[in-house]
Amino acid sequence: MAADTVDALCMKAREAIAQRNPDRARQLYLQALGLKSDAPDVHYGLATVCFQLKDLHSAAHHFREVTRLDPLRAGAFINLGAVYNLLDQLDDSITMLRRGIQLDSRRAEGYYNLALVYRRKGQVDMAIQAYREALRVNPQMSDAHYNLGNVFVEKGQYGMAATHYKHALQLRPNWDKATAGLAEVEAHLNQAKAPADPKADSGTVPLRQPQMDMERTVDPNSQGELLTVVHKATIESEEFGRQFLQVLENEIEPAIKELSSSLLYPDTSAGELDQCVEKFESAMARLRSVQKTVSLSVERVNALGEKLFK
């Protein structure tokens, strides 16, 4: 029977893969496909072999066929997303990976590959969240710890980077890349802790810390108008500070919670996740704007204060 022949060909193909002969395996899968073109398992096996042979376009084609013939197979969507990432089709990759996670939220590789794509797109915070989800599902994923270490190095958060490099080495001792990464961040941390040597010639002039002159006084008669300006500027600065805290509490915190929830429970639609991302990015833009206003206001108060005491 044709089905038996297809099964026999697939078994031989798997044996060829075990013998590290992917070219032979591809020939056998193609023969099986000629007998039964709508067999998702055959397409899946062929896609895997094509990936091993670095024929990414063929791998993508056959993984797509699996998703068409068996639309509930999470692994096919995740693998297709991984291939799309390698083909620089990043938006398509995210769509496929999200679909795979929706179908099976227990697959750590789905979150891991999603993190890789977010990082390539420059969405670092989203990448961190996805790596953490991968580790929530599979705490033994050393690669996720290592990549989190790299991301935190890029952000300048060396303490967090060191923590994840150490976790990676606990899971995979003597890993050269993780060892080198840990050595680098520990050097940064030790340098930051080291006391400054006043005799060292760094080529720069140390900054003098401003000291409060308790002898300086202000004449309210001659400088009353300036005092009023300083007072108003101080009140304005305090108001901007309150606005900053309000944005953190009323916009940033809810946006982060919604975004985390959409990743924790990927049964939501891709459109809803996109809305969460847009809301978070909008809140961050608002926070940066208010932060800039606060900084400018504080600088104005400081300048007025210097003018007042001249």
Instruction: State whether 167 and 234 are in the same domain.
Output: no
pLDDT tens digits, 144-177: 999 999 999 999 999 999 999 999 999 999 999 9
Determine, yes or no, domain membership for 20: no
Instruction: State whether 291 and 229 are in the same domain.
Output: yes
Determine, yes or no, domain membership for 144: yes
> Distance (Å, rounded) from C-alpha 151 to C-alpha 77?
26
Domain count, the chain: 2
> Distance (Å, rounded) from C-alpha 129 to C-alpha 117?
12
Phi, psi (deg, nearest 5) at residue 185: -70, -35
pLDDT tens digits, 252-268: 877 776 766 666 555 55
> Distance (Å, rounded) from C-alpha 173 to C-alpha 169?
5
Determine, yes or no, domain membership for 174: yes
Determine, yes or no, domain membership for 302: yes
- Last residue within a domain, chosen from 168, 192, 216: 192
* pLDDT at residue 253 in the model: 73
Which residues of the chain fall short of a pLDDT of 50? Answer: 1-3, 200-218
Determine, yes or no, domain membership for 228: yes
Determine, yes or no, domain membership for 149: yes
> Distance (Å, rounded) from C-alpha 117 to C-alpha 160?
21
Structural domain including 264 reads 224-308
> Distance (Å, rounded) from C-alpha 78 to C-alpha 84?
10
Instruction: State whether 297 and 257 are in the same domain.
Output: yes
Structure tokens at 220: 């309210």
User: The domain that contains 152 carries what CATH number?
Assistant: 1.25.40.10
Determine, yes or no, domain membership for 187: yes
Alpha helices in the chain (DSSP H): 2-18, 22-35, 40-52, 56-69, 74-86, 90-103, 108-120, 124-137, 142-154, 158-171, 176-193, 224-247, 253-264, 270-308
Determine, yes or no, domain membership for 31: no
* pLDDT at residue 204 in the model: 41
